[in-house]
Amino acid sequence: MKRKRSILVVDDNAMNRELLSEILSDEYSVIEAENGEEAYRLLEEYQNKISLVLLDLVMPVLDGYGFLDRIKKDRRLATLPIIVMTGKGADDEEVRALDRGATDFVHKPYNAQVIRRRVASLIRLRETASYIDQYQYDRLTGLCTKEYFCELAEEMITGHPEKEYDIICFDIENFKLYNDIYGAEAGDRLLVLIADKMRTGRENNSGIVLNGRKIADRFISLVERGRVNEDMIRRSVDYICRENDTGSVVRIAFGAYQIEDRSIPVEKMIDRALMAASRIKKDYQKVYAVYDDDVRTHMLRERAISQEMEHSVETECFEVYFQPKFRFDNGRLAGAEALVRWEHPKLGIISPAEFIQIFEKNGFISRLDKYVWTRTCKQIREWKDRGLKIVPVSVNVSRANLYQEDLAGRIEELVAGFELDKSLLHLEITESYYMENSGKVLTSVEKLWNNGFVIELDDFGNGYSSLHMLSRMKLDFVKLDRQFIACQLEDRDKNGILKYTIEIVHNMGIGVIAEGVETREQAEMLKSMGCDLVQGYYYGKPMPAVEFEKLLTGR
């Protein structure tokens, strides 16, 4: 049954209270008070459970006017509807009461119909208003919601054609991990801290016109062109790293969209700013990127790459390089990662960082992956035949492949075809936002694991990683992402997230590989934190098979 709303009737005359109670009690639960003092106490007691007050003006102890004055000062009660009850013809009483904050009035003697209707409409009005309030402002941070932000931003942009604006968006990297490790409440406090910083920025006239929260850890601002610069952003991020109560390093990537065409919907502008931000996610030295309208050049390049890919596989323009992995404890070679290289006769050397993304979009990645797996197996077979003491090689398995039926069976067949043991081909899979929601991917990984393949979770700590995922997946190793490591190790005293992540992963019985280690300092810190394996330029770059062989024979 629906809970009845509560109405507070304040009158020193018991007969009047009874009468009103009778009129209203079918629809509402009626609470009674004899004077303003008692009424105020009841409001405190019931907090915001009272929907409306019916108020007599002349009462002992504290009269209606005194009560209105007190309510006015109390911000929590500012929106509470109050109907004053006056005698017929007491116009100046009404005016005085309205002046002091009453919402409406009714005359004595009471007309049941009129009272019911007024009460109902005032309650409805207030509730819609507070609904609007919810729609406009985000509960947690008090910033504008995305919808309201878009509305206001559009008004600003079209209302001030003489001014130039940018949309700036940012989100916290590893926010999920932050929540996992420090708890959701600490995560909320971090969001509030950021929102407060944004508000202060606006109040201090720093060029911020409007702030909002898009969703979760994504924030948006409308700023005057050129007023918010990289320096300011860096200082704000430093502040957030310093002031958050966990003392953890927080990395935030900012993207800007410079508004030229004012007819584009604000939502689209936000998407573009976020796109710019996502481009620097792989580069922790940068905090700020601008969306350039160079989409055309981008598209042309993408098309050229897509046109050449098939032919390049057929003519074996793709090479497989090997990057060694070592054990931290005894420094011995423990394995390698197979990384594809593309040397195109016309386009030159194209970085996987560029083409893998494109192949993931156009679907060609499944084909390329299989090509790399086959080449890798062939290479291992050859080394074995030549009597070299081989190590397992990890290959990358892209997401598209994880969606394919019977992936486990196919890889098994491939390995068997070269008469190799399954333990020699490790599989690196990349976690993503979608993974958490995709039972299919999890099943696929589980199947591979059950079939005896060693599974490594790639790029952990980058973007959407969560520790929760690890418990849902069958895994042997977690590979810590290069940027994640670098960013966390940057500040010696503040490597909480990294240290805890390693600890928790170990506690789950999963091994830890540090990736992209470039300096001795990094290596020593990671070793002291208990990482098992290491891969990175400091130990060895990706190299052609003939180079890598030297490491095999040199053991």
**Cross-strand bridge partners of residue 348:** 344
**Nearby residues of 111 by Cβ (< 8 Å), 6 or more positions away:** none
Q: At what angle do helices 295-314 and 352-362 cross, to 10 degrees?
A: 90
Smallest separation (angstroms) from ligand C2E to the CB of 263: 38
Q: Is 441 in the site for ligand C2E (CB under 6 A)?
A: no
Q: How far is CA 332 from CA 338, 380, 514, 520, 525, in A?
A: 18, 19, 15, 16, 18
Cβ atoms of residues 342 and 352 within 8 Å: yes
Which partner in Ca ion, ligand C2E, none is near 431 (CB below 5 to 8 A by kind)? Answer: none
Q: Is 398 in the site for ligand C2E (CB under 6 A)?
A: yes
Of 369, 431, 456, 532, the one binding ligand C2E (CB under 6 A) is 369
Which span (52-60, 86-94, 235-243, 347-355) binds ligand C2E, by CB under 6 A?
347-355
Cβ atoms of residues 79 and 49 within 8 Å: no
Which span (167-175, 207-215, 279-287, 514-522) binds ligand C2E, by CB under 6 A?
514-522
Q: Which amino acid is at 534?
A: V
**Cross-strand bridge partners of residue 335:** 325
Of 56, 171, 217, 428, the one binding Ca ion (CB under 5 A) is 428
Cβ atoms of residues 338 and 368 within 8 Å: no
Which span (159-167, 496-504, 508-516, 529-537) binds Ca ion, by CB under 5 A?
508-516
State which residue, 258 or 430, has the beta carbon closest to ligand C2E. Answer: 430
Burial of 329 (0-12, 13-18, 19+ CB in 10 A): exposed
Smallest separation (angstroms) from ligand C2E to the CB of 358: 11
CA distance 534 to 536: 7
**Cross-strand bridge partners of residue 396:** 428
**Cross-strand bridge partners of residue 458:** 430
Which partner in ligand C2E, Ca ion, none is near 516 (CB below 5 to 8 A by kind)? Answer: ligand C2E
Smallest separation (angstroms) from ligand C2E to the CB of 79: 54
Of 333, 516, 534, 552, the one binding ligand C2E (CB under 6 A) is 516
For residues 215 to 244, the per-residue mask of contacts with ligand C2E, x marking binding by CB under 6 A and - elsewhere, is ------------------------------
Q: Is 458 in the site for Ca ion (CB under 5 A)?
A: yes
State which residue, 214 or 325, has the beta carbon closest to ligand C2E. Answer: 325
Q: By three-state DSSP, how is residue 521 classified?
A: helix
Of 455, 536, 548, 552, the one binding ligand C2E (CB under 6 A) is 536
Q: By three-state DSSP, how is residue 288 classified?
A: strand
State which residue, 9 or 485, has the beta carbon closest to Ca ion. Answer: 485
Of 407, 459, 497, 548, the one binding ligand C2E (CB under 6 A) is 459
Q: Is 335 in the site for ligand C2E (CB under 6 A)?
A: no
Q: Is 542 in the site for ligand C2E (CB under 6 A)?
A: yes
State which residue, 50 or 478, has the beta carbon closest to Ca ion. Answer: 478
Q: Is 435 in the site for ligand C2E (CB under 6 A)?
A: no
Of 353, 363, 419, 439, the one binding ligand C2E (CB under 6 A) is 353
State which residue, 308 or 459, has the beta carbon closest to ligand C2E. Answer: 459
Closest to 321 (Cα-Cα) out of 302, 345, 337: 337
Q: What is the largest CA-CA distance in the chain?
A: 111
* Helices within 439-508 (DSSP H only): 439-450, 467-472, 482-489, 496-507
Residue in this structure with the two tokens 């409001």, named with its chain if needed:
43
State which residue, 269 or 395, has the beta carbon closest to ligand C2E. Answer: 395
Q: Is 390 in the site for ligand C2E (CB under 6 A)?
A: no
Which partner in ligand C2E, Ca ion, none is near 456 (CB below 5 to 8 A by kind)? Answer: none
The structure tokens listed for 154 are 């559009």
Of residues 470 through 499, those in contact with ligand C2E by CB under 6 A are: 482
State which residue, 157 or 397, has the beta carbon closest to ligand C2E. Answer: 397
Of 11, 37, 459, 532, the one binding Ca ion (CB under 5 A) is 459
Of 352, 392, 496, 511, the one binding ligand C2E (CB under 6 A) is 352
Closest to 9 (Cα-Cα) out of 55, 57, 64: 55
Smallest separation (angstroms) from ligand C2E to the CB of 483: 9
Q: Which amino acid is at 409?
A: G
CA distance 163 to 359: 41
Integer Rg of the chain from CA: 33
Which partner in Ca ion, ligand C2E, none is near 38 (CB below 5 to 8 A by kind)? Answer: none
Q: Which amino acid is at 524?
A: E
Distance between start and end Cα atoms, the chain: 77
Q: What share of the chain is helix, strand, coil (3-state, %, to 5)?
A: 50, 20, 30
State which residue, 11 or 456, has the beta carbon closest to ligand C2E. Answer: 456
State which residue, 62 or 313, has the beta carbon closest to ligand C2E. Answer: 313
Of 396, 483, 501, 522, the one binding Ca ion (CB under 5 A) is 396
Question: Please, what sign has the CA dihedral across residues 274, 278, 284, 290?
Answer: negative
Q: By three-state DSSP, how is residue 388 classified?
A: coil
State which residue, 187 or 461, has the beta carbon closest to Ca ion. Answer: 461
Cis amide linkage into residue 109, ω under 30° from 0: yes
CA distance 117 to 316: 82
State which residue, 47 or 351, has the beta carbon closest to ligand C2E. Answer: 351
Which span (41-49, 97-105, 186-194, 388-396) binds Ca ion, by CB under 5 A?
388-396
Positions that interact with ligand C2E (CB under 6 A): 323, 339-340, 351-353, 356, 365, 369, 372, 396, 398, 458-459, 482, 516-518, 536-537, 542
Positions that interact with Ca ion (CB under 5 A): 396, 428, 458-459, 515
